[in-house]
Amino acid sequence: MASAKEYKNFINGCWVDSKSGDKYENRNPANNDDVVGAFQKSNAADVEEAVNAASEAFKKWRLVPAPHRGEILFNIANRLLKNKENFSSDMTREMGKILKETRGDTQEAIDMTFYMAGEGRRLFGVTTTSELKNKFNMTVRQPVGVCSFITPWNFPMAIPSWKMMPALICGNTVVIKPATDTPLSVVNLINACHEEGIPPGVVNLVTGSGSKLGDPLINNSAVKIVSFTGSTEIGRKVSEACASSFKHTCLEMGGKNIEIVMDDADLDLAVEGALWGAFGTSGQRCTATSRLICHEDVADKFSSMIVERVNKLKVGNGLDEKIEMGPMINQGQLDTVLKYIEIGKKEGAKLLCGGERLSGKDYDKGNFVQPTVFANVTRNMRIWKEEIFGPVLSIGTFSNFDEAVELANDTIYGLSASIYTRDINKAYTAMRDVNTGIFYVNAPTIGAETHLPFGGTKETGNGHREAGTAALDVFSEWKSVYVDFSGKLQRAQIDTEN
C-alpha cells in the first residue's frame, strides 16, 4: 500500500482524504502483482459531506443557463478525447478488458458528453393551444436536485457518463460512487470535469464499498434521484429503499440475452455476431449473448463453426494488442463462472469447448477462464435461466419461428435480443414480438449507441431509459405553464363557450 499511487475523494471541488483514514488497494485482474492504486475507503460521513456540498451547489448550478452548462460539457468532452489513450490504458489495467474495448468505453463517454453538451441549446418543451381565448400554454423542464449514482465495473467510464452528463445538463448536481473494482476510470472522468472548471460541489466522488455507502447515498433526504446499474437483486433493494420517500429511481439491471439464428441466416455473419456478443468483455456485459438458439436444420453446422472460432480466441492481458479476451474482474466472478460451468455439466448440457480455468505463466496471476460453449441447452436448465456474467454461451434449438420467439421471451429479463435472417417479414415480426428494450437484426445483442434509449423490460429495469433524449426524462421534471392575458377570470373546462 505504501508504494501504490494514492487517489482521493473529490468533494466540493477538492481532492480529500476519507474521514475514515482507511484505504484499499485496487489490483489488475490480469496480473494481481500490478497495483493500480490505493483508494479511499469512505464512510457515511464522507457521503454526507459530499451530499451537503452537492445540495449547496445546486442552488447556483440550477440557475446557470443551460447553453453555458453545455459549453462546460463540450470542453470536458474535448479533454476526454485528448486523454483517450491514457484513460483507456488505465481502464484495461483496472478492469481487464482488451484495449480495443476500453478505447470504445472511453469513446462512449466522449460521445455522451458531446451529445449532452448539445442538449444545452435544446432541452425542448412544447407550446400548445389553449381551449380558452387569450391564453398561452407551454411546458418546460426543471432540474430535480442532488443525484446519487452507484455504477458498475464493466463499463467504468461509459456508464457513469450516461448518468452524469444528462443530470448535469438538466441542472442537477451529482454524488457518484464507482464500483470498488474500477474507481480509477471515474477519478479520471471527475478530474476532467474539475480541470474544465465545473463549479465546486456540482460533481462529487466517494470511493469504497457499496455495502457501506449504499444506504447513506440512498437514504439522505437531500438526495432526490438515485440511479443504479447492477444486479436485479440489489436493484430491487434500491427500489424499495427509495419508495418510502418517493425519490426518483432509475434502475438498469440484469439480462439473459438471446441470438436467434434462422435456417436462412448468413451463418458466417451469425458466428461473428455470436463470437463478439458472447465473448466481448469476457461476457461481462448486461447485454452479452448468453443464450443462442439455432433452427434445428442448421444447429450442428453452426455449432461446429462457432467452436472452431472460439478455440482460436487469444486470452490474456488486455494491454497486449494481440489479445482478444481478458480476465474476469475478480476472484469472486471467476468462481461464479466456474460454478455455472459445473452446473451446466450436471444438468446434462453438452460441453463443446472450454470449461476450465486457465493456468500457466501467463495466467496464474490473473482471473482467467476459457471461453466456453454448451450445446443441447434446454429451457429448464439454470444456465438457460440465470445470468452468469462470463464467457459462457448456451446453445439450444427450435423447429419453427413461433417457437423461436417463445423461447426468446422465456426469461425474467428483457434487455436485448437479436435475429439473424434474410426474411424481412420474420425480422419485423421478431422485432415486434420479442419483449426486450433493445433489438438487433443481423447484428449481435451488444452494440448500443449513445443517441438511442438504453434499457430493458421486465426485471431488467423499472421503465426508465438511459442515453439519448430519454435520459432527460430521468433527470428533469416537467412543469406545465399557463399564461392568461385576457384580463379576466377564465375557467378551463367551464368557460369554453366564448
122 inside domain: yes
Q: Are residues 275 and 420 in the same domain?
A: yes
Active site residue 108: no
3 band by pLDDT with thresholds 50, 70 and 90: confident
Q: Are residues 203 and 271 in the same domain?
A: no
469 inside domain: yes
217 inside domain: yes
Q: How many structural domains comprise the chain?
A: 2
| Residue 495, pLDDT above cutoff 70 | yes
4 band by pLDDT with thresholds 50, 70 and 90: confident
Q: Are residues 240 and 346 in the same domain?
A: no
- Check which CATH number belongs to the domain holding 115 and give it: 3.40.605.10
72 band by pLDDT with thresholds 50, 70 and 90: very high
Distance CA 449, CA 158 (A): 11
383 inside domain: yes
Burial label, 494 (beta-carbon count in 10 A; 0-12, 13-18, 19+): exposed
Q: Exactly one of 94, 252, 259, 324 is catalytic; name it.
A: 252
pLDDT per position as a tens digit, 168-196 = 999 999 999 999 999 999 999 999 999 99
455 inside domain: no
Length of the chain: 498
Distance CA 370, CA 307 (A): 12
Interval 362-383 mean pLDDT:
97
Q: Are residues 241 and 306 in the same domain?
A: no
Q: Exactly one of 286, 387, 459, 466 is catalytic; name it.
A: 286
Which of 412, 441, 470 is at the close of a domain?
A: 441
Q: Are residues 91 and 178 in the same domain?
A: yes
Q: Are residues 339 and 417 in the same domain?
A: yes
Distance CA 104, CA 102 (A): 5
Q: Are residues 206 and 97 in the same domain?
A: yes
Which of 394, 411, 441 is at the close of a domain?
A: 441
446 inside domain: no
User: Structural domain of residue 88, as residue ranges?
Assistant: 9-253+461-480
498 inside domain: no
Active site residue 272: no
Q: Are residues 157 and 72 in the same domain?
A: yes
pLDDT attached to residue 131 = 94
- The alpha carbon dihedral of 147, 148, 153, 154 has a sign of negative
Q: Are residues 195 and 288 in the same domain?
A: no
pLDDT attached to residue 429 = 98
| Residue 14, pLDDT above cutoff 60 | yes
Percent of the chain at pLDDT above 70?
Answer: 99
498 band by pLDDT with thresholds 50, 70 and 90: low
Q: Are residues 199 and 121 in the same domain?
A: yes
pLDDT per position as a tens digit, 434-447 = 999 999 999 999 99
Q: Are residues 215 and 288 in the same domain?
A: no
Interval 306-322 mean pLDDT:
98
490 inside domain: no
Q: Are residues 276 and 244 in the same domain?
A: no
